[in-house]
Amino acid sequence: MKTNNLTELLNSISGAKICSLRTKTALKANKKSRTDGTPFPYSQGISKISVRNVIIGSDYSSSINGRLAKENKVADFVPENLWGGSGRRISKFLVQHTESKKEYLSVLPITDSENKNLSKNIYIDNSTGLEVDFDSLKDFLPPYNEPTNQNDLEKTVHWLCIETKNILGLKFGENLFEKV
């Protein structure tokens, strides 16, 4: 099935699926460098285009409890309410922020043996359309914080909720969603 309707594609799925996901998001950056205070040089911002393999249709708490069991720990994880109670599941794959009404695809990114994200990213200067080297952006990015609410897992579960408007493509098998 090839479609430009994400909901139609998701409704055709039963069970969890490994997919290729392509997204375009605004890069979150500090206004100034963390080390020397230099202003962020990209006045129109940076777009991050990512391609990653993910699992959709998986359950967050089951993923955490499965990982706890693999680490020989008590698998008794109960997740906190999504977004402090402001989130609700609207389908097996989608969640919604109850205040903003924005919809998100809930995914489990596939990581390598060291639990590193395997996404391929390209960074684009929004004012010129030219690619920007990631190393030139690092000093402007907020620090990454590992999840702290996963019962002290050694190998944390990197769960993502991606706003559906940022999804450019989703593919599994012969099934394809492409934003037009």
When divided into structural domains, the chain yields a total of: 1
End-to-end C-alpha distance for the chain, whole angstroms: 16
Compute the mean pLDDT over every residue in the chain, rounded to the nearest whole number: 92
**Residue 70 belongs to what H/E stretch?**
helix 60-70
Distance of alpha carbon 7 from alpha carbon 179, whole angstroms: 12
**pTM as predicted:** 0.87
Q: How far apart are alpha carbons 58 and 67 in whole angstroms?
A: 13
pLDDT in tens, 89-121: 899 899 999 999 999 999 999 988 887 888 999
Sign of CA dihedral 147, 48, 122, 63: positive
Q: Name 148's Cβ contacts closer than 8 Å, sequence gap at least 6.
A: none
- DSSP one-letter code for 83: G
| pLDDT tens-digit readout, 55-75 | 999 888 899 999 899 999 999
| Planar angle of CA 160, 162, 168, nearest 5 degrees | 130
The boundaries of the domain holding residue 112 are 2-178
